[in-house]
Structure 1
Amino acid sequence: MKKIIYLSLLLLIIAVIAGCSSNNEEKQTKTAEKELTLLFNFATNTLDPNIDTTYAAVRAGITETLVKMNDKELKIEPWIAKEWKSEDGKHWTFTINDNVTFQNGKKVDAEAVKKSLERAIKNNEAVKGALKIASLKAEGNILTIITEKPFPEFPSELAHPNTSIIDVDEKNYVNKPIGTGPFKVDSFTSGSSIQLIKYADYWDGAAKLDKATFSFNEDANARFLALQSGQADITYRPPVESLEELKAIDGMVVESVPSLRTHQLTMNFKQKSLQNLSVRKALDSLIDREEIVHSILEGQAEAAKGPFLATFSFSDDQGERTYSLEEAKKQLEKAGYRMENGVMKKDSKPLTFKLLTYQARPELPMIAQLLQSNAKQIGVTIEIQQVENIDEYMSTNKDWDLATYSSLTAPRGDAGYFLNATYSKTGALNYGSVDNKELNAKLAVLNQTVDAGKRDELAKDITTIIDKEYLHFFMVHPHTIVAYNGKKVQNWTTTKSEYYMVTNKLDVK
């Protein structure tokens, strides 16, 4: 009997030890999982990469495009497509990488890419207008594309996140698109976060992270607090006034790099008052660019002299624009306005503008308030309206006059993207209905010009027209600011293009 009891106790102890060992192994496995949280400043309500204007799917490493931007050289390079060629700028062949698969294991061939591009063209007018594709043909790994006209910079348009390649047979585009990236969607909470898990069979090498959270918060102070408390490991665009405080935190890394972005003041040319060149000149004179650089952005920007950074070969220095209340009054008087009891009027009607802005870039509402204050000094009223989705509002409403806006003006290292998107009649960013005959003619020539030097000169000619006609007010080139926990995060790169964030190289200690 004693032997039986002893044996039973021995078996029980062994079972307990085995259980403890199993629990320890489980704990070690959980501990060994690598994960991090990135907090971005724009929220999205959809992960459909073909229509989402926040480009969350590419930024979160879910989807990829045929080509991508090389951030150092500012040129496009292979991604899903390993090579491409064209002899005339109209007939193109793209060779798809042999080893690319979707996150459901299906092989990506030219037919899958064709179907994906066809869906993007069908569902997004901006993509249709940008690509100008007449026909697509798939055979094995070779995709043949014919554009409507010779289009030398066509491949660079395929770096745009809205041309992401997805498995169109998987229908849950909004919540769980099936892409080719290193991370697949575990779950998505609209307007809040994306839970990501590693796709083990990723074609370019499995991700170092097991999991990642790509979350959103448009409140800059909330992003700062999340980073400070450790709830976020990487934060995009913390408030500039918090940078010194962040730098004082042990292990915190704050990076500020010149971006390919320009903060601008967009006009609605459907509004009669803004069709007057003198009124546009007056508004430009109310923009204090140096105040924006030094007081609002605390030196994390440079005054803009045009849409592009001066370092680009196609950038043309248009000279500095001067802030001057006197010049603003002079131009308004030239347009027929007169000051009456402290109010600028024409035909007894006060000069009033409705200015749109948005909180996701916290400096933009501050710029709007500065402009409002300057305008008030010469009797002009600017009413500020803050909107949640600036692109959606401007595209669906025409009750606005002005808008603070921010564009990636050269995300593919070429002037053609911004100039076409912003100034062609069907341009995705032509919210203000700009229609200038001289500019349109130059743009048509640019789109069919192959020689790089000639393209640069044409781009300069176009920006000269923009400058002369005051078709946009380019205010500042802001820096891209990212802060992260340097004691934990490894292999992070703050890119100028702002497209590639959660990559297979990103890691934690």
Structure 2
Amino acid sequence: MKRIKLVIFLLISSLFIFVSACSNNAKENSSKKELTFLFNFPSQTIDPNLDYTPLRAGVTETLVKLSEDLKIEPWLAENWESKDGQNWTFHIREGVTFQNGKALTAASVKKSLERAMKINPGVKEVLKIDRMEAEEQNLKIVTKEPFPQFPSELVHPNTSIIDVDAKNPEKAPVGTGPFSVDSFVAGSSLEVKRNNKYWDDVAKLERASFKFNEDENARLSALKSGGADVVYRPPVDSLSELKGNKEFKVESVVGLKTHELIFNTQTHVFKNENVRKAFDALVDREELLNNIMSGQGKLAEGPFLPEFTYVPKYQLKDIGTATALKWFEKAGYDTKDGKISKDGKPLKLKLLTYGSRAEFPIFSQALQSQAKKIGITISIDVIENYEDYLLKHNDWDIGMYSPLIAPRGDASYFLNVSFKPKGSLNFSKVDDQKLTSLIDKLDKTFDESERKNLIKQALTYIDEKTYYSYLVHPNIVVAFKDRVRHWTTSKSEYYMLTNQLDVE
């Protein structure tokens, strides 16, 4: 009998210890600071020299950072100087290590920038580096020509500094940021963990998930169900509901992107400047902003927000179907009974768009409907690997896009990549010698007032030629749980998972 009682006592004691241990583990797990962030645009690689996600997820950092008032400030470079705008010396911050423990030196920065230029032609194009020399923490850079805005180009996420000698940068880049890569599944998610040896304030979060989903309704469902803590670009028609719920917070700020209509100037139709002007008049910006985007943005006159001091005063344009028909007439089209034709044949066009901007397919259909009223047939294709397709193929006429127009707080980057013949974002395939000469002159100009004047000239000329049709400056809309602390909706859309981000 005593033996039975002893066995029962031991079993109860063991059960008590097991339950206590589980309870303690549950407390530990519940106290872990973790966060799930759901982004709208999937990444197929997290190679920092090709993709923005590692910088956004706090894995990598750049030499120079862009502040919220669009001024450049030191980051991995403590300071820099140049007497002539061509010979630069960057002082690399001391005491910084990569996530694998290796020290950050001028030599490792040099190797990283060399790799970025080798595998990304766009980086090579905008940096214009002729040669570099590393000595301890000083990196000397000589550009191919005087380049007064060179430091601002080092803000770009694709110039992120990584340990080049570390293996597999496509799936596990080793940077200097507050989080290191734990795992990555292409098109699905990036899992990161706290870098306890981070050179600045160690991150408040222990872990974070940077997940991708192009479906805005799925992102909203994840927020409501607890599958996500922060959601980028929830459906605009859900904002009133979210704002009325104390469990969530919503931020909506005008960002640095601009929705635009792209014209393929290499096609017979859109080589004609008057046809481009006709479509610029035909497009209904008010419908895009107010009906499709629920007012989340500002109408665009040009590529840049009007707050920038170098934006010219644009001439007021007539818009609407009647104006569009007049431009078609100037282009040599017949407009009998309000219908467009050329040599007795109706106009048929192909429009490309992509799904990660939920409003684009809807707007494409609205434009298709408008064009149909004047006898123009537009077919719509939703394309994956969108940017590559636009640059490499010529079997399309119109495209939708939303580029980051002012990622440096300066216009030179945008003008170079969007309008130079070999520009990495020259989707309209513009090749205009007068415009190229203006941009070349801008790149070599030091005086700030002269630079502003040249930018105004370039933007005015672009407006006159209508190489693109600028539609709306969209708001950046982010919804997050009330327990999230220190979230900042970055205008540049570069910095998302920061060391200050926290949860209760």
TM-score, length of structure 2 as denominator length = 0.96
Describe the superposition over 1:462-492 as per-residue Cα deviations: whole angstroms up to 9, x where unpaired.
0000011111111111111111112x10000
**Aligned to 1:252, which of 235, 248, 251?**
248
Whole-angstrom CA distance in 1 between matches of 2:243 and 2:27: 33
User: Shift in Å at residue 22 of structure 1?
Assistant: 4.3
Which residue of structure 2 aligns with residue 35 of structure 1? Answer: 34
One-letter code of the match for 2:437?
A
* Further displaced range: 335-344 or 272-281: 335-344
Asked whether the 8 Å contact 1:228–1:246 carries over to 2, the reply is: no
Q: How does 1:355-434 map to 2 (within 5 A)?
A: 355-434=351-430
Aligned-residue RMSD, C-alpha: 2.0
Aligned residues of 2:220 and 2:234 also touching (Cα < 8 A) = yes
Equivalent position to 2:500, from 492, 496, 505:
505
Structure 1 residue 425 displacement after superposition: 1.9
Residue equivalent to 2:443: 447
Aligned to 1:318: 314
One-letter amino acid matched to 1:457: N
Matched residue pairs, number?
Answer: 504
SS at 2:242 equivalent: helix
Check if 1:475 corresponds to 2:471: yes
In 2, the alpha carbon distance for the partners of 1:470 and 1:341 equals: 26
Query: Partners in 2 of 1:44 and 1:355 — Cα distance?
Result: 24
In the alignment, the residues of structure 2 paired with residue 339 and residue 274 of structure 1 have an alpha-carbon distance, to the nearest angstrom, of: 18
Is the CA contact (8 Å cut-off) linking 2:340 and 2:374 kept in structure 1? Answer: yes
Match for 1:496 among 491, 497, 504? 491
Q: Note the C-alpha offset of 1:320.
A: 3.9
Alignment-derived partner of residue 146 in structure 1: 142
Deviation digits for residues 96-152 of structure 1 (CA, Å, limit 9, x no counterpart): 111211111111101111111100100011111011100011111111110001111
Displacement, 1:19?
5.3
Q: Which moved more, 1:33-42 or 1:14-23?
A: 14-23
Task: Report the Cα offset of residue 167 of structure 1.
Answer: 0.8
Give the partner amino acid of 2:411. A
User: Is residue 268 of structure 1 aligned with residue 268 of structure 2?
Assistant: no
Q: Structure 1 residues 94-103 or 4-13, which shifts more?
A: 4-13
Question: Helix, strand or coil: the match of 2:402?
Answer: strand
Q: 1:326 to 1:21 in 2, by over 3 A?
A: same
Q: Secondary structure at the match of 2:142?
A: strand
Q: How far is the alpha carbon of 1:436 from its aligned partner?
A: 1.3
Q: How does 1:135-174 map to 2 (within 5 A)?
A: 135-174=131-170
Q: Equivalent residue for 1:74?
A: 70
2:49 aligned residue = 50
Structure 2 unmatched ranges of 5 or more: none
Query: Which one-letter code corresponds to 1:29 in the other structure?
Result: E
Which residues of 2 match residues 128-207 of structure 1 at below 5 A? 128-207=124-203
SS of the residue corresponding to residue 250 of structure 2 reads strand
Deviation at 1:364, TM superposition (A): 1.4
Kindly provide the amino acid, as one letter, of the partner of residue 90 in structure 2.
F
Q: Which residue of 1 aligns with 2:88?
A: 92
1:367-392 deviation digits (Å, cap 9, x = unpaired): 21121111111111221111122212
Contact 1:305 1:319 in 2 (8 A): no
Q: Secondary structure at the match of 1:213?
A: strand
- Offset of 1:242 from its aligned partner? 1.4
**TM-score normalised over the length of structure 1:** 0.95
**CA shift in 2, pair 1:492/1:8, >3 Å:** same
Distance 1:409 1:141 in 2: 33
Deviation per residue, 1:228-248 (Å, 9 max, x gap)? 222111111111111112212
Verify the 8 A CA contact 1:442 1:462 in the aligned structure 2: yes
